[in-house]
Amino acid sequence: MPSREDERVPLLEVRNLKVSYKTYRGILKVLDGVNFEIEKGEKVGIIGESGCGKTTTMKAIMRILPSNAIVEGGEILYNGTDILKMSESEFNKIRRERFAMIFQDPTAALNPVFKVGEQLMDILRYSKGTGKYDEDDLKEEIIGAFREVMLPDPERVFDSYPFQLSGGMRQRVCIALALLTAKELLIADEPTTNLDVTIQDQILRLIKDLVSRRDLSVILISHALGAVRGLVDRVYVMYAGTMVESNEVNELFRSPKHPYTRALLSSAPRLTGGGISQGIPGNVPDYLNPPSGCRFHPRCESKKFICDIEPPSFFSVEKGGKVACFLYAER
Amino acid sequence: MARLSLLTIDKESPRWRSLRRSWYRFRRNPLSLMGLAIVVITIVIAVAPEYLAPYPDHAGYYINFKEAKQPPSMKHPFGTDEYGRDILSRVMFGFRFSMTLAVVVLSLTAPTGILLGLIAGYHEKTWIDAVIMRVADMFIAVPPLVLALSICSILPPNIMNAMIAVSLMWWPWYTRLVYNTTVSLKNEYFVQAAEIMGASKFHIMFREILPNALGPILTKLTLDVGWVILIGASLSFVGLGAQPPTPDLGTMVSEGSKYMPEYWWISIFPAMAISFIILGFNLLGDGIKDALSGG
Amino acid sequence: MILEVENLKKYFEVSLGTVRAIDDISFGVEEGETFGLVGESGSGKSTTGHVIVGIYKPTSGKILYKGEDISVPLKKRPIRLKKEIQMVFQDPRSSLNPMQTVRDIVELPMRIHMKHMSSRDREAKVKRILEEVGLPPEDFMNRFPRELGGGESQLVAIARALASEPSFIVLDEPTSALDVSIQAKIISVLLKLQREYNLSYLFITHDLSLVRNVSRRVAIMYLGKIYELAPTERFFVNPLHPYTKMLLSSVPVLTEDEERLKPKEIRSTGEIPSPMNPPSGCRFRTRCPLAYERCSEVEPKFAEVEDGHYVACHLYNSQS
């Protein structure tokens, strides 16, 4: 039986990615060797609290990091080729034709001075690559996408300005756009965080439905732990610029392994009651002077001697999970 | 989120610490430093022209036709004017006059304008707001120079009246600035929190709102020095401000214009001095604005 | 009851019409309890907190604090009330004056209400309170708000609220802007303080899982009206109103136990109508799968169905 590695190359593989930011206070060493991969057609979630580096990772993949960011090391392999080494124009082609991204704030993603339909036509044209496209055809496609995301009265939405639509509708427009332009990979960065819970639920169900019909690969980023659960197959947990655990989604929530994951999950209030924990002692690390070895060790109850000396690698545990913690290192 | 690294937090007073931080930001921009240097030079000259000028008595009545209209030389770096007076010395005394004008005008208009703007803004949509702001609007509506000129033409032309004229048209800009800032700050949660806990109106206006408006005010003050000096020089230029032989930069430009272009130095050096001062304050003002807005 | 709200209404006149933010609600908070007020955007829950605290004047209705009628805005309230009732806001950063140190901020209520205290007394008390909320005074006293993290800022806001020794605190989405682990810390501090000082909380939030774990009773608001009010356990285990069920079914949860608790028969549909033009009769009827003719004609009465369990729905109130 051939091993998984030589069966097929993952769609996207991030290897040991290190990214820092240059600020006037000094260098913020944010990403400290991020490892993560996604197969074709897979749906992966990344959960972590604010500042842990999830958005930086996504920006690195889409190559939209700000000018003060430095990629210190690592590779991002798309179908085996390192996109960090590609030229601007080469990657541009891939990004506009194969990838799509849904951002956290739909208001910021849409240009307020243009009608929604106009903007989307521009973007759709751009994403299809060079060539002439019939305006009416493009419009048809967009209206069709609006119907799929269940926007009421799609024609009217097409002719509206963003401010005339509610938050939920705007986000649905962005999702429609992403689905029109995403051929292979969809990255959704906190797509429902600013929305009401009932709308959130509708939109997540919608994304799930649409994604399954198209066999898209999806990376869903969220700090809301429960939001990813219904949508993804596998979850990565991120802390202070490193991936600390990954596992099949239900398994992770049922049986978290990494001390951070455990502490995080026990801080989340349960609908069934039972009280809340006191949170995690200590504070998130200062990226100017991050802790040595494992970045979680100052806050970890199970800290061992080696934890502040060496950063742990991703050790395998049962059911395909991986944990970056010496508690699980093979002897 | 990354916690800020703390530098000896409890060893020094917190206000000092935040001042130091602003200074670090300010320092980073070479243009701001240049502005600061120019302003310092200006102030030094304005404070002590008697000691710095090579010919201090040339600032008053002095006539020596033998030395008149001399071009710039080692003896007279800026040349001499039609009465034989050393222009460099007169320019230095001119600095004093200009700075005095700016200090007097701004120390009258800024506090008044700020106070009125604060009160009007905090009492937004009441009669207090209406009265104050409409009066301010009236003064703003008249073009500044026209207002100053009309006042100066009623009153006898001298320094004092020039200052009054300029002050009258200056205060509403502070009122407007502070009004807008106050109205927007009024709805911030921290102001509401103070209201909920029962803080007095006085406290809220002066201890909650005003400190947060200081940034724009300080920037405006600095930039205004240049403007006041320019308006003052303009008034003197048309003969409505300082009268000869007072060494005022505007007057000097005006008087010297008769001798252009052969005896160019009589007008040009005072004009350059005006530009110098304004440039300095503008650069400084910009630098302060950048340093305070987070760098 | 330390706080009672009777037939409270708050309407806002805006250029496009009237926004009926609060449209006849009644409830009470018992001394020492946490009363949860939940709802989505446009529900009026935040406005309710603002009216109780005095930022807005009620359009009609009554607010009673310890039996006294306080249905007036702040400027008409006596100063002793402002000592008793405090508020913690949703955005911790903007609830602290950026030009003041933590010490200044926490000290202010003392300067207003405890004028007999000397500067040194106040400093000592500030230190004590900071310790109680879990912020070491030596480290935090002289910091400015920009030198604080989100959770720390909120703890300072809580310290400030405590400084006047209040009895009643309105918490308006106090942890919505914070990460889950920091939220846990803040909540545990709030609960500890409540036990120690017998504080009464009005806890406003949209997070149902959170409210399950902090409040003794819960009320749910939709477009300015309360549709269900019950003791917490009852509310979650036996929800009656269709909107409650819809909201519960939409909550993202982590475990299978929680999944089982969620009502399955009603899933979320539709958008929230504008508060300027609410549907006639029952406001929820446009999204309610169980709506019938009566729902568009008559507004359902808010009535007690079981002990302490109130609902406003025609399905349950035969006489409405």
Taking an 8 Å cut-off on Cβ atoms, the answer to whether C184 and A253 are in contact is no
Chain A CB contacts of B1 below 8 Å: 50-51, 284
Taking an 8 Å cut-off on Cβ atoms, the answer to whether B295 and A24 are in contact is yes
Angle at C90 between CA C88 and CA C94, to 5 degrees: 90
With contact defined as beta carbons under 8 Å apart, do C217 and C36 qualify?
yes
From B196's Cα to the closest Cα of chain A, the distance in A is 28
pLDDT for the residue B1: 38
**Tens of pLDDT along B108-157?**
899 999 999 999 999 998 999 999 999 999 888 887 777 777 777 787 77
Interhelix angle B210-237/B87-122, rounded to 10 degrees, is 140
The Cβ of residue A16 has, within 10 Å, a number of other Cβ atoms equal to: 12
Q: Is the pLDDT of residue C23 over 80?
A: yes
With contact defined as beta carbons under 8 Å apart, do A228 and A235 qualify?
yes
Taking an 8 Å cut-off on Cβ atoms, the answer to whether A284 and B28 are in contact is no
Domain ranges of chain B: 26-54+74-292
**Tens of pLDDT along B199-254?**
999 999 999 999 999 888 988 998 888 888 888 787 777 777 777 777 888 888 88
Of the residues C97, C141, C144, the best mutation for testing chain B's interface (the one with the most B CB atoms within 10 Å of its CB) is C97
Q: CA neighbours within 13 Å on the CB side: how many for C67?
A: 0
The Cβ of residue B84 has, within 10 Å, a number of other Cβ atoms equal to: 17
Q: Is the pLDDT of residue C77 over 60?
A: yes
Interhelix angle C180-197/C150-163, rounded to 10 degrees, is 10
C108 touches chain B (CB under 8 A): yes
Structure tokens at A86: 């590609």
| Among the partner residues A50, A283, A288, nearest to B5 by beta-carbon distance | A288
pLDDT band for position B18 (cuts 50, 70, 90) = confident
Residue linked to tokens 């946490």: C34
pLDDT band for position B4 (cuts 50, 70, 90) = very low
The Cβ of residue A65 has, within 10 Å, a number of other Cβ atoms equal to: 16
Give whichever of A134-148, B81-95, C196-210 has the largest mean pLDDT.
Answer: C196-210
Domain ranges of chain A: 1-86+233-331, 95-223
Domain ranges of chain C: 3-312
ipTM value for the complex: 0.88
Residue of C nearest to B197 (CA): C82
Taking an 8 Å cut-off on Cβ atoms, the answer to whether B10 and C138 are in contact is yes
Q: Is the pLDDT of residue B8 over 60?
A: no
pLDDT for the residue B2: 38
The CATH architecture that domain A1-86+233-331 belongs to is 3-Layer(aba) Sandwich (3.40)
Chain A CB contacts of C187 below 8 Å: 269, 276
With contact defined as beta carbons under 8 Å apart, do C144 and C98 qualify?
yes
CATH topology for B26-54+74-292?
Answer: MetI-like fold (1.10.3720)
| Among the partner residues A226, A254, A283, nearest to C252 by beta-carbon distance | A226
CA distance A221 to B272: 60
More confident residue, C193 or A141: C193
A150 touches chain C (CB under 8 A): no
Structure tokens at C115: 């004028």
pLDDT band for position A223 (cuts 50, 70, 90) = confident
Taking an 8 Å cut-off on Cβ atoms, the answer to whether C253 and A277 are in contact is no
pLDDT for the residue C175: 92
Taking an 8 Å cut-off on Cβ atoms, the answer to whether C209 and A271 are in contact is yes
C82 touches chain B (CB under 8 A): yes
Q: How many CB pairs under 8 A join B and C?
A: 76
With contact defined as beta carbons under 8 Å apart, do C8 and C61 qualify?
yes
Taking an 8 Å cut-off on Cβ atoms, the answer to whether A268 and C254 are in contact is yes
With contact defined as beta carbons under 8 Å apart, do A19 and A70 qualify?
yes
| Among the partner residues B2, B24, B28, nearest to A287 by beta-carbon distance | B2
Over residues C184-188, mean pLDDT: 94
Taking an 8 Å cut-off on Cβ atoms, the answer to whether B193 and C157 are in contact is yes
A288 touches chain B (CB under 8 A): yes
B4 touches chain C (CB under 8 A): yes
Hey, which residues does C311 pair with through a beta bridge? Answer: C228, C303
Domain at A95-223: CATH code: 3.40.50.300
CA distance A60 to B85: 69
Share of chain C above pLDDT 70, in %: 99
**Phi (first) and psi of residue A33, to 5 degrees:** 90, 65
C198 touches chain B (CB under 8 A): no
pLDDT for the residue C254: 86
Structure tokens at A237: 């947990």
**Tens of pLDDT along B23-77?**
877 888 888 889 999 999 999 988 888 888 888 877 777 788 887 888 888 888 8
Chain A CB contacts of B28 below 8 Å: 24
**Tens of pLDDT along A56-80?**
999 999 888 888 899 998 999 998 8
**Phi (first) and psi of residue B24, to 5 degrees:** -60, -40
Residue of B nearest to C76 (CA): B198
Chain A touching partners, 3 or more CB pairs below 8 A: B, C
Chain C CB contacts of B9 below 8 Å: 139, 142-143
CA distance C28 to C217: 10
| Among the partner residues B13, B188, B198, nearest to C113 by beta-carbon distance | B198
pTM of the shown model: 0.86
Write down the mean pLDDT value for chain A.
86
pLDDT band for position B163 (cuts 50, 70, 90) = confident
pLDDT for the residue A101: 86
Q: Is the pLDDT of residue A263 over 80?
A: yes
Q: Is the pLDDT of residue C206 over 70?
A: yes
Chain B CB contacts of A25 below 8 Å: 4-5
B196 touches chain C (CB under 8 A): yes
Chain B touching partners, 3 or more CB pairs below 8 A: A, C
**Phi (first) and psi of residue A330, to 5 degrees:** -70, 145
**Tens of pLDDT along C147-176?**
898 899 999 999 999 999 999 999 999 998
Chain C CB contacts of A168 below 8 Å: 271
Q: Is the pLDDT of residue B79 over 70?
A: yes
pLDDT for the residue B3: 40
Q: Does domain C3-312 have CATH number 3.40.50.300?
A: yes
Q: Calculate the alpha carbon distances from A11 to A35, A43, A79 in Å.
A: 14, 12, 5
Interhelix angle A167-181/A116-128, rounded to 10 degrees, is 20
Taking an 8 Å cut-off on Cβ atoms, the answer to whether C261 and A198 are in contact is no
pLDDT for the residue C103: 94
- Starting from the edge strand earliest in sequence, which strands make up the sheet with A99-102, in order? A99-102, A185-189, A217-222, A43-47, A234-239, A242-248, A322-323, A315-316
B195 touches chain C (CB under 8 A): yes
DSSP A86: S
B contact set with A (CB within 8 A):
1-5, 24-25, 28, 295
Structure tokens at A29: 């060493």
Identical topology for domains A1-86+233-331 and A95-223: yes
Q: Is the pLDDT of residue B7 over 70?
A: no
Q: Is the pLDDT of residue C316 over 90?
A: no
Residue of C nearest to A150 (CA): C270
CA distance A300 to A281: 8
CA distance C208 to C253: 10
Considering only CA atoms, which of A226, A268, A73, C182 is closest in space to residue B1?
A: C182
**Strand A12-23 versus strand A69-78 pairing type:** antiparallel
From B158's Cα to the closest Cα of chain C, the distance in A is 43
Residue of B nearest to A30 (CA): B2
Residue of B nearest to A52 (CA): B1
